[in-house]
Structure 1
Amino acid sequence: MTRRAVVLDCDTGTDDAVAIMLAALHPGLDLLGVTSVWGNVTVEHTTDNALRVLDHVGRHDVPVLRGADRPLGQAPDAAARARRLPPHLPLPPSSRAPAGDAVEWLVETLRATTRPVTLVATGPLTNVALAVAAAPTVVGAVAEVVLMGGGHARSNVTPSAERNVWWDAPAAQRVLQAGFERLVMVTLDATDQARATADDTARWRALGTPAGTATATLVEERLVQYGGPAPLHDPLTVAYLLDPEVVTLRHAHVAVETAGALTYGRTVIDLERVDGRPPNAHVALEVDVDRYFGLLSAAFG
């Protein structure tokens, strides 16, 4: 089996952690490194959380690089809409330290690679935008960008916007305009359909593995946070790499609103190709939930 080289860029909270475990444990993926970014919590804590997750599943060999601690732009009313989440995941602390700067490592890794790299981003796109700005030619080393962000009919931080894009709308727009050969945007429309229940957590805990137990614990936290069935947004990006049929894609032009007072951070997805601009993204709007959760169970078992 040819293993796909993957870099995961994330603001490690509960569902990012499940994405890290899936990427770290599946034999079809070669996880080169995890780059942290501010978002769910501060970058100090997202970095620490990523280290905790990797160490918990025995992947001490995967480096974690500390990334951006603030956006390129500033979303309106950011402080008022900041998430109130526990800074640490309920996993043992790591004895490791970050291996360096995320943006520098991304540039160096992509410049040096002799094989195509897939870049998966599940938080604000600040690191990716900074790497492209620092070395535009690295775009050519990326076989595919898969990001969790944006929405067509769904939003979650304002009536118009999804959180990851809203947190750094200028960065998201730069990434969409960067000219990557293939960009897949896994939207809130798709991920919000994939809601885990207590039955799912019981099934993952019954696997009796470190990843199964950790996933159950993390998703149980999400059930409390959501007051019921809770979406697993971020792992769907990695699941797509392993089984592209888990989502349904539409090819469309996507732009990000960076100026509108009411629509800041909205992803404008031209599904009907009304304005004639060429498509720049493959957009996931639907998910096969049984296939998705079955993939998690198989990988963590």
Structure 2
Amino acid sequence: MEKKKVILDVDTGSDDAIALIAAMANPDFEVLGITTVNGNRAVPITTENSLRISELMGGTVPVYQGCALPWTSCMLGLRKNYPQYEAPADAKYRNIHGTYIDQCPKATKKAEDQNAVSWLVDTLMAAEEESITLIPLGPLTNIAHAIRIEPRIVSKIKEVMYMGGGFRIGNKSALAEFNVWLDPEAAQAVLDAGIKNFTFVPLDATHQAYLTKEDAARIRAIGTRPAEVVADLVDQRIFGYSSWQKVEVEDAAPIHDPLCVAALVDPTVLVDVMDAPCVVDCGRGSAYGVTMFDILNGRMEAKEPNCKVALHADRQKYVDILCQLLENTKK
């Protein structure tokens, strides 16, 4: 079977790191590259974290550093850049992400010389029609820039599986999800580009994709270094959520980003997937960054659907997929 060609566009914190490990552990994926963006942390940190994970998994997947600022919203004083948090050295488990992925040593390699946006354009333009799957797990800044530079890359994209947005749930405001909120204009530009198969995996689904301490122990029992790193990161997230962002299930935490990888392994892990028109609020008011999904398909001036949105997830299937992928690291 031909491998699925994928590119991961990440702002690597704890859950991005797990997603990268899962993707690179999948023998059915050909990971062409990792592109990094400002998000959970400043882009030099997300790049270093991505390099650490790439080296953990053999160091064969190149990392390209991308945009340090949102697409347009920092221009003309319209918006200040998002302040980046760096966890104190003695408090790495008090924050869901920490600063660096301390479970891995400092990377010995550097990012590639080519910028992520330029590499995306070159790679997609050299590809066959509808042949590459994008897995964006942070703000869509890099992809928006690439499409603006060369709109023809859209036809080379087979699908986009995006961890972003919220239907009934927000985590940056009442309804705005962080990845979209950090660069709403980029998200809207990508939605407007005409990508044929764009799926939002929003907080509504990822909050059901939680892992427990028991799940972390199951992963740790796999016995490989990548599995140990994943288990440590899950435990870190559980501690972080229990400290300041409690979830309904005790001793558990949502592991957002790897759900996109799992959905490309088995689409049935996403439940109640609906076609919908989506508009991102870019008005800089109280709804700034909110993704408005018209799941009734008719309230937004009868616009045609421009995406799919998954409203739920099968938690146990998700955990099983992650464990199955990590079992591959024994080989």
Coarse TM-score class (shorter-chain normalised): over 0.9
The letter of the residue matching 1:291 is: K
Q: Which of 127, 148, 161 is the matching residue for 1:113?
A: 127
Following the alignment from structure 1 to structure 2, what is the Cα–Cα distance between the partners of residues 114 and 140?
9
**1:179 partnered with 2:194:** yes
6-15 or 193-202, which moves further after superposition? Answer: 193-202
Q: Which of 196, 199, 202 is the matching residue for 2:214?
A: 199
Following the alignment from structure 2 to structure 1, what is the Cα–Cα distance between the partners of residues 82 and 116?
25
5+ long unaligned stretches in structure 2: 88-96, 243-250
Query: 2:65 matched to which residue of 1?
Result: 66
1:240-267 alpha-carbon deviations (Å, 9 max, x no partner): 1110111021000011000051100000
Are the counterparts in 2 of residues 43 and 68 from structure 1 also a CA contact under 8 Å? yes
The letter of the residue matching 2:206 is: T
Cα distance change of structure 1 residues 57 and 80 upon mapping to structure 2, 3 Å threshold: closer
Query: 1:243 matched to which residue of 2?
Result: 266
For 1:6-85, list aligned pairs within 5 A.
Answer: 6-58=6-58, 60-72=59-71, 73-74=73-74, 79=82, 85=97
State the Cα RMSD in Å.
1.5
Following the alignment from structure 1 to structure 2, what is the Cα–Cα distance between the partners of residues 213 and 191?
22
Following the alignment from structure 1 to structure 2, what is the Cα–Cα distance between the partners of residues 138 and 269?
25
**1:216 partnered with 2:231:** yes
1:2-29 alpha-carbon deviations (Å, 9 max, x no partner): 2100000000000001110111110111
- In the alignment of these two chains, the number of paired residues is 300
The letter of the residue matching 1:102 is: A
Query: 2:3 matched to which residue of 1?
Result: 3
The letter of the residue matching 1:97 is: K
Shift of 1:52: 0.4
The letter of the residue matching 1:254 is: C
SS in 2 for 1:138: helix
Runs of 4+ residues deviating >4 angstroms: 74-85
Following the alignment from structure 1 to structure 2, what is the Cα–Cα distance between the partners of residues 179 and 10?
22
Query: 2:277 matched to which residue of 1?
Result: 253
Shift of 1:212: 1.0
Shift of 1:159: 1.1
**1:126 partnered with 2:141:** yes
Cα distance change of structure 1 residues 223 and 172 upon mapping to structure 2, 3 Å threshold: same
Cα distance change of structure 1 residues 244 and 83 upon mapping to structure 2, 3 Å threshold: farther
Shift of 1:114: 3.1
Shift of 1:188: 0.5
Q: TM-score, normalised by structure 2?
A: 0.88
The letter of the residue matching 1:104 is: S
SS in 1 for 2:277: strand
Following the alignment from structure 1 to structure 2, what is the Cα–Cα distance between the partners of residues 80 and 92?
26
SS in 2 for 1:283: strand
Are the counterparts in 2 of residues 40 and 83 from structure 1 also a CA contact under 8 Å? no
1:132-188 alpha-carbon deviations (Å, 9 max, x no partner): 001000000000011100001000111120000000000000011110111011011
Cα distance change of structure 1 residues 224 and 14 upon mapping to structure 2, 3 Å threshold: same
